Copies of this chain bind each other. A is one copy, B any other.
Amino acid sequence: MSSSHPPSLNHFDAQGQAWMVDVGNKQASQRLAVAQGAIQLSPATFAALEQPAHNSPKGDVLGVARIAAIQGAKQTSALIPLCHPLPLTHLSVAFALDAAQHRVVIEVTAKTVGKTGVEMEALTGASIGLLTIYDMLKAIDKSMVIEQVRLLQKDGGKSGNWLNPNQDSMA
Contact = CB atoms under 8 A, between A and B. Distances in A.
Nearest to A151: B142
Contacts of A111: 22, 24
Interface of A: 1, 3, 5-24, 30, 37, 44, 47-48, 51-57, 59-61, 63-64, 66-68, 70-72, 74-75, 77-94, 111-115, 119-120, 123-124, 127-128, 130-132, 134-140, 142-151, 154, 162, 164-166
A64 B81 contact: yes
A55 to B, nearest CB: 6
A165 B52 CA distance: 26
**How many copies of the shown chain assemble into the complex?**
6
Q: Which of A12, A84, A162 has the most CB of B within 10 A?
A: A12
12 contacts: A6-B44, A17-B56, A18-B66, A19-B91, A21-B90, A71-B79, A80-B132, A83-B135, A85-B88, A87-B114, A147-B148, A147-B149
Nearest to A94: B17
Contacts of A132: 80-82
Nearest to A63: B63
B67 A81 contact: yes
Given A16-B52, A64-B82, 10 more contacts: A5-B53, A6-B44, A12-B54, A16-B60, A57-B57, A57-B59, A63-B64, A80-B135, A82-B135, A147-B147
A167 B5 CA distance: 36
